[in-house]
Amino acid sequence: MQALNSERSALNHIRVFEAFAGYGSQSMALRRLAEDYPRFSFEAVGISEIDRYALQAYRAVHGDVTNYGDITCIDWGDVPDFDLFTYSFPCQDVSFAGKQMGFTEGSGTRSSLLWECRKAILAKRPGWLLMENVKVLVSEKFLPLFREWEQWLASIGYNNYTQVLNAKDYGVPQNRERVFMVSTLSDVPYFFPNPLGVKCCLGDILEDSVDGRYFLSEKMVDGFIHRNEVAKEKGNGFRFEPVDGFGIAAAVLTAAGSRADDNYVYACAVRDRGDGNRQTLETGGSVVNAVTSVQKDSMVMQLANKVADMATKARGEECGVNVTADGRIVTFLHDKKRTSVQEYKIDSFGSYGQSVISSRSPLMYDECLRIRKLTERECFRLMDVSESDIDKIQAAGISRTQQYKMAGNSIVVAVLYHIFRKMFIDKECETKQLRLF
């Protein structure tokens, strides 16, 4: 059986079983791999998923793949053979966001469902295994239990390779560190993909037009600021901290945008204050991890760049921009005959990041920065779900709350894509890598 499954793993057609499937990020990545490498193909022979909303999303994206349900109740003799077993077991009892009750076998915690995977592995002996979970799984607290699992796999013939990978290293603007373990029956060593860097910034994934229900009220922002002050007095630091709009988002959580340690966006609304003939302009904004005061200097520069862009669009002429020592923003409009100077000043700068720039020039625009939640689509984009798959999930009639939850529970598709690429396409070592755990 071992030799047979090792041979299967070298084939171009891979059969996969997704345990704890969610909306099927593993199959999304494998499908993308098959599109890029026509000699590779795969089929999902089954999944295990008990969340009805996640199952609804999975079927909307992948079709009617057989769901064997609760992993504790599966008779693996009834399941077709498979070459790849993926098991992103529940993280709630490991994650810092939970109570960290652990995953000791027989403890009854959700995370202890890991040990149920032994039945599948013993019954089918797949050539490849892929585990994913939160980084704290390999922390000092949980490392002994993780070692116990790793040693069990080794005792039945698997070679194990473990690495913490960050989504921002694989083309996605999200700071999401997760631990992955690839296990193989083959004697050919596995090499994790080399970091590729970020190919886009947060501004590239933000929607152009967002409904007003996503924007935070002034009362809510004031509440965040109060929490910040309390945290600061206790020495815990700020929780509402804007980062550069061209930077990286914090990890998408299951309750994205609904509490102080999730992602929020500065959305810029530009209003015409002139003769009413100019159209409203909307621009993207910066991203914040949580809530804290903003730095005026960096905000002035962000606004200056937007003013320059706004003036260019309004005049049809390229303009330069300069920021004076007192915070005034000066734009320079150029054409062949003249150079005109237009001066803007900051009329107000609130402690929670709401700023207004008013113009003393004929442009007469206001630009107001407001704080809003990430939308569900933006969270899915940060998980590298394709637009067509997002459309299918949202067309399935799943609530906003459940969409946030399933995005936060999933795995970034781009990371999986490159892990699978190193499994099945390019098995060479890209760089010298050391065993970390």
Which residue in the list 73, 91, 368, 429 is annotated as catalytic?
91
Q: Residue type for 426, please?
A: D
CA distance 63 to 194: 33
Query: Band of the pLDDT at 217, cuts 50, 70, 90?
Result: confident
Position 72 pLDDT exceeds 60? yes
Q: Write down the mean pLDDT value for the chain.
A: 76
280 or 102, higher pLDDT: 102
Smallest CA-to-CA distance from 230 within 288, 303, 314, 291 is with: 291
This prediction has a pTM of 0.75
CA distance 338 to 360: 19
Give pLDDT, residue 106: 84
Give pLDDT, residue 63: 96
Residues 6+ apart with CB under 8 A from 16: 26, 27, 30, 42, 43, 44, 45, 82, 83, 84, 85, 86
Structure tokens at 410: 């999933």
Digit-coded pLDDT (tens) for 115-145: 999 999 999 999 999 999 999 889 888 899 9
Residues 6+ apart with CB under 8 A from 132: 86, 88, 178, 179, 180, 411
Q: Is 368 a catalytic residue?
A: no
Secondary-structure percent of the chain, ordered helix, strand, coil, rounded to 5: 35, 25, 40
- CA 100 → CA 4, 92, 134, distances in Å? 40, 7, 12
CA distance 386 to 25: 11
Let me know: does 214 contact 264? Beta carbons within 8 Å.
no
The Cβ of residue 246 has, within 10 Å, a number of other Cβ atoms equal to: 15
404 or 197, higher pLDDT: 404
Digit-coded pLDDT (tens) for 381-392: 999 999 999 999
In the predicted model, what is the mean pLDDT of residues 353-379?
54
Q: What is the DSSP string of 219-251?
A: HHHHHHHHHHHHHHHTT---SEEEE-TTS-EEP
